[in-house]
Amino acid sequence: MTPTQELIARVRAAAEGSPYVVEERPYGFDLTIDLVDATWWTLLRKNAVKRVFTHEVRLEEGRRRMTITDVSNEVRWDAGVGPSGRPSLHAEKQVQKGRVYEFSSEKQWGADAATPGGIGKVVDYTFRASEGRDLIRDAAKPLGWSEGMGREQKIGLAAALFALAIVVVIGVVAGVILLVS
Protein backbone atom coordinates (compact mmCIF):
# COMPACT_ATOMS: atom_id res chain seq x y z
CA MET A 1 0.00 0.00 0.00
CA THR A 2 1.40 3.41 -0.99
CA PRO A 3 1.52 6.29 1.51
CA THR A 4 -1.32 7.98 -0.41
CA GLN A 5 -3.49 4.88 -0.30
CA GLU A 6 -2.73 4.44 3.39
CA LEU A 7 -3.73 8.05 4.16
CA ILE A 8 -6.95 7.80 2.15
CA ALA A 9 -7.82 4.53 3.93
CA ARG A 10 -7.25 6.15 7.35
CA VAL A 11 -9.38 9.19 6.47
CA ARG A 12 -12.11 6.91 5.10
CA ALA A 13 -12.04 4.85 8.33
CA ALA A 14 -12.18 8.01 10.46
CA ALA A 15 -15.15 9.32 8.43
CA GLU A 16 -17.09 6.06 8.71
CA GLY A 17 -20.36 6.58 10.54
CA SER A 18 -20.21 10.35 10.00
CA PRO A 19 -21.89 12.44 7.31
CA TYR A 20 -18.50 12.89 5.56
CA VAL A 21 -17.72 11.06 2.31
CA VAL A 22 -14.21 10.44 0.90
CA GLU A 23 -13.78 10.50 -2.87
CA GLU A 24 -10.43 9.79 -4.52
CA ARG A 25 -9.24 12.34 -7.07
CA PRO A 26 -6.19 12.52 -9.37
CA TYR A 27 -4.65 15.13 -7.03
CA GLY A 28 -5.43 13.20 -3.82
CA PHE A 29 -8.95 13.11 -2.38
CA ASP A 30 -11.97 15.16 -1.36
CA LEU A 31 -13.70 14.96 2.00
CA THR A 32 -17.27 16.20 1.48
CA ILE A 33 -20.27 16.78 3.68
CA ASP A 34 -23.72 17.38 2.22
CA LEU A 35 -25.13 19.79 4.80
CA VAL A 36 -28.59 20.30 3.41
CA ASP A 37 -30.63 19.50 0.32
CA ALA A 38 -34.21 20.58 0.95
CA THR A 39 -37.23 21.94 -0.88
CA TRP A 40 -40.23 23.28 1.04
CA TRP A 41 -43.29 25.49 0.87
CA THR A 42 -44.03 28.52 2.98
CA LEU A 43 -47.31 30.43 2.82
CA LEU A 44 -46.85 31.94 -0.66
CA ARG A 45 -43.49 30.61 -1.84
CA LYS A 46 -41.62 27.45 -2.76
CA ASN A 47 -38.06 27.45 -1.40
CA ALA A 48 -34.96 25.34 -1.88
CA VAL A 49 -31.42 25.20 -0.55
CA LYS A 50 -28.50 22.90 -1.30
CA ARG A 51 -25.31 23.30 0.71
CA VAL A 52 -22.16 21.20 0.27
CA PHE A 53 -18.78 21.70 1.94
CA THR A 54 -15.66 20.00 0.52
CA HIS A 55 -12.08 19.79 1.74
CA GLU A 56 -9.89 19.28 -1.36
CA VAL A 57 -6.74 17.49 -0.24
CA ARG A 58 -3.80 17.66 -2.64
CA LEU A 59 -1.03 15.18 -1.91
CA GLU A 60 2.69 15.17 -2.69
CA GLU A 61 3.42 11.54 -1.88
CA GLY A 62 7.22 11.72 -2.17
CA ARG A 63 7.43 14.53 0.39
CA ARG A 64 4.42 13.30 2.42
CA ARG A 65 3.08 16.81 2.16
CA MET A 66 -0.56 17.82 1.77
CA THR A 67 -2.59 20.97 1.28
CA ILE A 68 -6.21 21.30 2.37
CA THR A 69 -8.40 23.74 0.44
CA ASP A 70 -11.90 24.38 1.73
CA VAL A 71 -14.69 24.81 -0.82
CA SER A 72 -18.14 25.93 0.33
CA ASN A 73 -20.97 25.75 -2.24
CA GLU A 74 -24.50 26.97 -1.59
CA VAL A 75 -27.44 27.39 -3.96
CA ARG A 76 -30.74 28.93 -2.81
CA TRP A 77 -33.87 29.78 -4.72
CA ASP A 78 -37.45 30.68 -4.03
CA ALA A 79 -40.44 31.34 -6.26
CA GLY A 80 -43.97 32.48 -5.59
CA VAL A 81 -45.96 35.61 -5.01
CA GLY A 82 -43.94 38.70 -4.14
CA PRO A 83 -44.97 41.61 -1.86
CA SER A 84 -46.62 43.39 -4.80
CA GLY A 85 -48.81 40.37 -5.53
CA ARG A 86 -46.93 39.57 -8.74
CA PRO A 87 -45.02 36.34 -9.38
CA SER A 88 -41.36 36.49 -8.40
CA LEU A 89 -38.27 34.32 -8.63
CA HIS A 90 -35.06 34.72 -6.66
CA ALA A 91 -31.92 32.61 -6.98
CA GLU A 92 -28.39 32.90 -5.63
CA LYS A 93 -25.20 30.87 -5.64
CA GLN A 94 -22.33 31.40 -3.25
CA VAL A 95 -18.87 29.81 -3.46
CA GLN A 96 -15.99 30.31 -1.05
CA LYS A 97 -12.61 28.70 -1.66
CA GLY A 98 -9.39 28.80 0.33
CA ARG A 99 -9.33 28.54 4.11
CA VAL A 100 -12.89 28.93 5.37
CA TYR A 101 -13.38 29.54 9.09
CA GLU A 102 -17.04 28.99 9.75
CA PHE A 103 -19.49 27.94 12.39
CA SER A 104 -23.06 27.96 11.14
CA SER A 105 -26.45 26.72 12.15
CA GLU A 106 -29.71 26.97 10.25
CA LYS A 107 -33.28 25.97 10.97
CA GLN A 108 -36.22 26.49 8.59
CA TRP A 109 -39.83 25.49 9.06
CA GLY A 110 -42.37 24.88 6.32
CA ALA A 111 -44.30 22.24 4.41
CA ASP A 112 -41.86 19.65 3.04
CA ALA A 113 -42.25 19.56 -0.76
CA ALA A 114 -41.24 15.86 -0.84
CA THR A 115 -43.81 14.81 1.77
CA PRO A 116 -47.31 16.20 1.16
CA GLY A 117 -48.84 17.42 4.40
CA GLY A 118 -45.50 17.15 6.25
CA ILE A 119 -45.18 20.43 8.14
CA GLY A 120 -42.22 21.03 10.42
CA LYS A 121 -38.46 21.56 10.33
CA VAL A 122 -37.26 21.18 6.75
CA VAL A 123 -33.72 22.49 7.31
CA ASP A 124 -31.86 21.75 10.53
CA TYR A 125 -28.07 21.62 10.71
CA THR A 126 -25.10 22.86 12.68
CA PHE A 127 -21.69 22.93 11.03
CA ARG A 128 -18.11 23.75 12.01
CA ALA A 129 -15.69 23.89 9.04
CA SER A 130 -12.70 22.84 11.13
CA GLU A 131 -14.22 19.39 11.88
CA GLY A 132 -13.29 18.01 8.46
CA ARG A 133 -9.78 19.51 8.52
CA ASP A 134 -9.23 18.04 11.99
CA LEU A 135 -10.39 14.60 10.78
CA ILE A 136 -7.84 14.75 7.91
CA ARG A 137 -4.99 16.06 10.10
CA ASP A 138 -5.63 13.46 12.82
CA ALA A 139 -5.39 10.69 10.21
CA ALA A 140 -2.30 12.17 8.50
CA LYS A 141 -0.09 13.06 11.46
CA PRO A 142 0.68 9.50 12.69
CA LEU A 143 1.66 8.59 9.09
CA GLY A 144 4.24 11.39 8.92
CA TRP A 145 2.34 13.73 6.60
CA SER A 146 2.81 17.51 7.00
CA GLU A 147 0.55 20.31 5.81
CA GLY A 148 1.42 23.25 3.59
CA MET A 149 -0.58 26.22 2.33
CA GLY A 150 -2.71 25.78 -0.76
CA ARG A 151 -2.63 28.14 -3.74
CA GLU A 152 -5.63 30.17 -2.57
CA GLN A 153 -4.10 30.62 0.89
CA LYS A 154 -0.79 31.77 -0.61
CA ILE A 155 -2.59 34.29 -2.84
CA GLY A 156 -4.55 35.60 0.17
CA LEU A 157 -1.39 35.93 2.26
CA ALA A 158 0.44 37.74 -0.58
CA ALA A 159 -2.48 40.15 -1.01
CA ALA A 160 -2.55 40.88 2.73
CA LEU A 161 1.22 41.50 2.83
CA PHE A 162 0.99 43.76 -0.23
CA ALA A 163 -1.82 45.77 1.40
CA LEU A 164 0.21 46.05 4.60
CA ALA A 165 3.25 47.26 2.64
CA ILE A 166 1.12 49.96 0.97
CA VAL A 167 -0.20 51.12 4.36
CA VAL A 168 3.35 51.29 5.76
CA VAL A 169 4.61 53.28 2.73
CA ILE A 170 1.68 55.70 3.00
CA GLY A 171 2.38 56.10 6.72
CA VAL A 172 6.08 56.79 6.14
CA VAL A 173 5.34 59.29 3.35
CA ALA A 174 2.73 61.04 5.53
CA GLY A 175 5.23 61.15 8.42
CA VAL A 176 7.95 62.64 6.22
CA ILE A 177 5.54 65.26 4.86
CA LEU A 178 4.51 66.23 8.40
CA LEU A 179 8.18 66.52 9.50
CA VAL A 180 9.15 68.62 6.50
CA SER A 181 6.25 71.06 6.79
Give the C-alpha separation, 111 to 55, whole Å. Answer: 32
pLDDT of residue 114: 72
- Tell whether the model's pLDDT for residue 121 goes beyond 90: no
DSSP conformational letter for 82 = -
What pLDDT shows up at residue 151? 80
Residues 133-178: tens digit of each pLDDT = 999 999 999 999 999 887 877 787 888 888 998 899 898 888 888 8
Q: Within a 10 A sphere around the Cβ of 39, how many other Cβ atoms?
A: 15
For 61-100, write each residue's pLDDT tens digit.
999 999 999 999 999 988 988 777 788 888 999 999 989 9
Give the side-chain half-sphere CA count within 13 A for 170.
6
For the chain, what is the radius of gyration of the CA atoms? 23
pLDDT 10s digits, 9-45: 999 999 999 999 999 999 999 999 988 888 888 878 8
Single-letter amino acid code for the residue at 132:
G
pLDDT at residue 181 tops 90: no
Q: Say what the pTM is.
A: 0.77
CA atoms of 71 and 154, how far apart (whole Å): 16
User: Is 125 in contact with 105 (CB distance < 8 Å)?
Assistant: yes
Element at 122 (helix H, strand E): strand 119-128
